Amino acid sequence: MADTIVQVHDVSKSYHRDSIEIPVLQNITLDVPEGEFLALMGPSGSGKTTLLNLIAGIDRPNNGSINVAGTNIVQLGESALAQWRSRHVGFVFQFYNLMPVLTAFENVELPLLLTHLSKKERKEHVETALNVVGLADRIHHYPKQLSGGQEQRVAIARAIVTDPTIIVADEPTGDLDKKSADEILLLMERLNGEFKKTIVMVTHDPRAAERAHKTQHLEKGELIQ
């Protein structure tokens, strides 16, 4: 039995719009074992992206606790949380979110600028990550010179370059054609199988969810068992 890497306990989250409180998540409890490939599914507005953001430490719950790799991230201050994210979380976004003015190499290098690695070590890490995603020959290309699938692979390289504890992916295939989407999913399966990366993925796409070990459904802010 693998250790639990993410423990979400009794977490609720609501937003305020003007004076109206809109509940998004209600009393969510979820454990993710190390090495898991978990898909979060549900209709729009079910709270799956909010849950992913909470696990990734870019949003805060109203109550409850979130333990990731032994740290209760709810208690961390702004700066400590930023530092924690840089060490433990790799992000994959639906629209890739690469910096358009930076090359593939420089985009992948960005998270490494937050570490104490030397320039030479950073170069080695970036090249390894780009090799894993099969883009070693596109190292000096700018995002606009790449296809959508290639851009997402650069984004995945950026997500894995720091060897994070978990990878969070929000609709990673949402903006891609079927062929590119398959390539990305294959790559994520490989990251999970070959490199033992824990992945939490939000998706609408049942074919994407099929690649995961486990799928959790959310509806109206609650997990459906």
Partner 1 sequence: MKIPLTYNLRNLWTRRLTTLLTVGGIALVVFVFAAVLMLAQGVKTTLVSTGSDDNVIILRKSAQSELLSAVSRESAALIETFPEIAADKNGKPLASANMVTIINLHKKKTNDMGNVTVRGVSPEILAVHPEVTIKEGRMLQFGSNEIVVGNAIADEFDGTAIGQKIQIGTNLWTIVGLFDAGKTGFASEIWGDTEQLMLAFNRPVYSSLTLKLKNPDDFETLKTKLSAEQRLQELEPKREKQYFEEQSEFMATFIRALGLVITIIFSFGAMIGAMITMYAAVSNRTVEIGTLRALGFRRRSVLAAFLAESLMLSLIGGAIGIIIASFLQFVSFSTTNFGSFAELAFGFSLTPGIVLGTLLFALAMGFVGGFLPAFRAARLNIIAALRSA
Residues that bind partner 1 (CB under 8 A): 53, 56, 58-59, 78-79, 82-87, 91, 93-95, 97, 99-102, 106, 110-111, 113-115, 158
d(C-alpha 50, C-alpha 8), whole Å: 13
d(C-alpha 110, C-alpha 166), whole Å: 18
Tell me how far, at minimum, the Cβ of 99 lies from partner 1, in Å: 6
Dihedrals phi, psi of 27, to nearest 5 degrees? 45, 55
Tell me how far, at minimum, the Cβ of 221 lies from partner 1, in Å: 16
Take residue 172 and report the two structure tokens written for it.
């990673």
Query: Is there a contact between 133 and 153 (Cβ–Cβ < 8 Å)?
Result: yes
| Residue 151 vs 211, nearer CB to partner 1 | 151
Tell me how far, at minimum, the Cβ of 164 lies from partner 1, in Å: 10
Beta bridge partners of 4: 33
DSSP one-letter code for 137: G
Query: Is there a contact between 203 and 215 (Cβ–Cβ < 8 Å)?
Result: no
d(C-alpha 57, C-alpha 1), whole Å: 26
| Residue 141 vs 213, nearer CB to partner 1 | 141
Give the CA radius of gyration of the chain: 17
Tell me how far, at minimum, the Cβ of 105 lies from partner 1, in Å: 11
Tell me how far, at minimum, the Cβ of 166 lies from partner 1, in Å: 13
| Residue 115 vs 215, nearer CB to partner 1 | 115
| Residue 25 vs 211, nearer CB to partner 1 | 25
Take residue 55 and report the two structure tokens written for it.
């696990």
| Residue 153 vs 211, nearer CB to partner 1 | 153
